[in-house]
Amino acid sequence: MEILYTNCAGLDVHKKTVKVCLLIHMSDGKTHKEFRTYFTTTEELLKLGDWLKEQGCTHLAFEATGVYWKPVFNLLEGSFEVLVVNAQHIKAVPGRKTDVKDAEWIADLLQHGLLKASFIPSGPQRELRDLTRYRVRLTEEKAREVNRVQKTLEDTNLKLGDVVSDIMGKASRMILHAIADGETDPGRLAALAVGRVRAPQERLEAALRGHVTDHHRFLLSEHLTQIHHLEQAIERVTAEIVRRFTPEDTPASQKEEEVEQDLSPVSVSPQESPASSPPSLSWAEAVVLLCSIPGIGEHTAIGILAEIGINMQQFPTAGHLASWAGVCPGNHESAGKRLSGKTRKGNPWLRCLLVQAAHSASHQKQCYLAEQYRRIAKRRGAKRAAIAVAHSILVMIYYLLRNQTTYQEKGETFFEEQERQGAEKRLVRQLSRLGYHVELQPVALAG
């Protein structure tokens, strides 16, 4: 096979050590191999980079193993062409499973150009992605604490959740804090229910009669304190995300660096020259474009952009993006038979956001996506319908960001119009085969 990279290296990354195999193509046609082991401390990784520079290495490749590849990538990406590859694509030959052999196998594949690099966002986008993912985890933890509050109330036989719509609403919190502070009189507790609580006073008092001990008060106090801390953390993380999405708060030099980093790893197709491409899109403008799609709000738009970025040239087609996200049908065919259409494993964070947007869009009125959801749910079920609508939403996002246009609603009658036109063409072909000349005329114009 043709050798594309004469000086390259394969790395087998672990938690404590990194096995390195350096391949150097000599002038006499032979390949020189050198193996070394380094620790994963910053000092050792810098020594690794210096040694590879001395040897004239230009390309590196290693597997995406958990989070252990990230410090190696961060320290070496500026000095070499670093390829982070899918571990499933480079499984070693059976019988050769050692760390050194893994590094040698990766280097050999890289030397012949048989490895495909995974999509690694730019530094600012990776930081933004960390923030959005952390906010999701904080929100999930808050929901778990709220469930613990409800569990404690059930243990005391306080039916507050049966008479209020939100157990963490303003009136509910005042009642919960009063219970934690030692208040036991149902009348006084019910009097704290102000605002939009629609339950009558008698029903509130009946729901607030229970058996509360000091143990329950301690648990309620701890749960409410934890919820308060989590809400403050969510507010701080959200403020930081908004700050990074606000152009005025970003220095001009940093914005230019972000734009340069966002455009650096892309591959421009021969049909699209940089001169003909539209001007670069800002993060705030991209959020506005995504919010024009039914089912997508500001938080969802920010989360999606943090995962895929705003430059769609890094994905050749919308199909590549859908496959990377794991929302397109799987491809398992053998002997001419389609065996399974199960979706592949993709980006779980992006997939979750898209499915949430799909469920939200399914409740919209006069909406193309809602009609698509209903039609598929009748035949295939709600879960498959949600994935199909999520796929459609991601394809829309791809073209909106690539063409920098807003969403154009087709309406819920789009499918009916397609079926009507299809029926017309089918019936005209049938009559034509029977020897008739068919000319269609609308009823309103006939006669």
pLDDT of residue 271: 37
pLDDT digits (tens, 9 = 90+) for 133-179: 999 999 999 999 999 999 999 999 998 888 888 889 888 899 999 99
- d(Cα 393, Cα 353) in Å, to the nearest integer? 11
**Average pLDDT rounded to a whole number, residues 308-336:** 86
Strand partners, 118: none
Query: How would residue 222 be classed by pLDDT, with cut points 50, 70 and 90?
Result: very high
DSSP structure string for 82-139? EEEE-GGGGPPPTT--SHHHHHHHHHHHHHTT---------HHHHHHHHHHHHHHHHH
pLDDT of residue 189: 87
Q: Does the pLDDT at position 267 exceed 70?
A: no
Residue percentage of the chain with pLDDT more than 70:
89
**Average pLDDT rounded to a whole number, residues 1-26:** 88
Q: Does the pLDDT at position 54 exceed 70?
A: yes
Strand partners, 59: 8, 81
18 touches 72 (CB < 8 A)? yes
Structure tokens at 292: 């024009």
Strand partners, 201: none
Alpha carbons within 13 angstroms on the beta-carbon side of residue 330 total: 12
Phi (first) and psi of residue 36, to 5 degrees: -145, 160
Lowest mean pLDDT among 67-81, 98-112, 233-247, 328-342: 328-342
CB proximity list for 291: less than 8 A, separation 6 or greater: 297, 298, 301
Q: Does the pLDDT at position 389 exceed 90?
A: yes
Cα-Cα-Cα-Cα torsion 343, 348, 349, 352, nearest 10 degrees, comes to: 50
Structure tokens at 216: 């329950």
pLDDT digits (tens, 9 = 90+) for 80-98: 999 998 887 777 656 667 8
| Residue range 7-111 in CATH 3.30.420.10 | yes
CA dist 33 → 20, 36, 37, 158, 353 (Å) = 10, 10, 14, 72, 46
Lowest mean pLDDT among 259-268, 344-353, 413-422: 259-268
pLDDT of residue 441: 82
Domain spans, the chain: 7-111, 125-247, 279-331+341-403, 423-447
Query: Which of the 8 DSSP states describes residue 4?
Result: S
> Exposed, middle or buried: residue 209 (CB in 10 Å: 0-12, 13-18, 19+)?
middle
- d(Cα 234, Cα 239) in Å, to the nearest integer? 8
Structure tokens at 376: 């598929």
The overall average pLDDT reported for the chain is: 85
* pLDDT: which is higher, 446 or 347: 347
pLDDT of residue 273: 39
pLDDT of residue 274: 38
**Average pLDDT rounded to a whole number, residues 318-347:** 82
Query: How would residue 329 be classed by pLDDT, with cut points 50, 70 and 90?
Result: confident
- d(Cα 154, Cα 176) in Å, to the nearest integer? 13
* pLDDT: which is higher, 213 or 255: 213
Query: How would residue 262 be classed by pLDDT, with cut points 50, 70 and 90?
Result: very low
**Average pLDDT rounded to a whole number, residues 417-429:** 89
Q: Does the pLDDT at position 238 exceed 90?
A: yes
- d(Cα 341, Cα 420) in Å, to the nearest integer? 29
pLDDT of residue 258: 46
* pLDDT: which is higher, 131 or 102: 131
| Segments of 194-316 assigned E as strands | none
Phi (first) and psi of residue 35, to 5 degrees: -115, 140
Beta carbons within 10 angstroms of residue 287's beta carbon: 20
pLDDT of residue 335: 67
pLDDT of residue 22: 92
Lowest mean pLDDT among 101-110, 229-238, 294-303, 376-385: 101-110
Query: How would residue 67 be classed by pLDDT, with cut points 50, 70 and 90?
Result: confident
pLDDT of residue 257: 47
Structure tokens at 260: 């340069």
Structure tokens at 339: 């065996």
| Nearest in space to 62 (alpha carbons), one of 27, 38, 26 | 38
48 touches 18 (CB < 8 A)? yes
**Average pLDDT rounded to a whole number, residues 338-358:** 87
**Average pLDDT rounded to a whole number, residues 357-371:** 92
CA dist 406 → 398, 399, 402 (Å) = 12, 9, 11
Alpha carbons within 13 angstroms on the beta-carbon side of residue 393 total: 36
Q: Does the pLDDT at position 249 exceed 50?
A: no
Lowest mean pLDDT among 10-19, 243-252, 392-401: 243-252
> How are beta strands 59-63 and 31-39 bridged, if at all?
unpaired
Lowest mean pLDDT among 129-143, 185-199, 204-218: 185-199
Structure tokens at 133: 């993912």
| Nearest in space to 378 (alpha carbons), one of 360, 354, 362, 390 | 362
pLDDT of residue 270: 36
106 touches 12 (CB < 8 A)? yes
Query: How would residue 391 be classed by pLDDT, with cut points 50, 70 and 90?
Result: very high
Beta carbons within 10 angstroms of residue 57's beta carbon: 23
Q: In what order do the strands lie in the sheet with 81-85?
A: 31-39, 17-25, 7-13, 59-63, 81-85
- d(Cα 444, Cα 63) in Å, to the nearest integer? 66
Query: How would residue 1 be classed by pLDDT, with cut points 50, 70 and 90?
Result: low
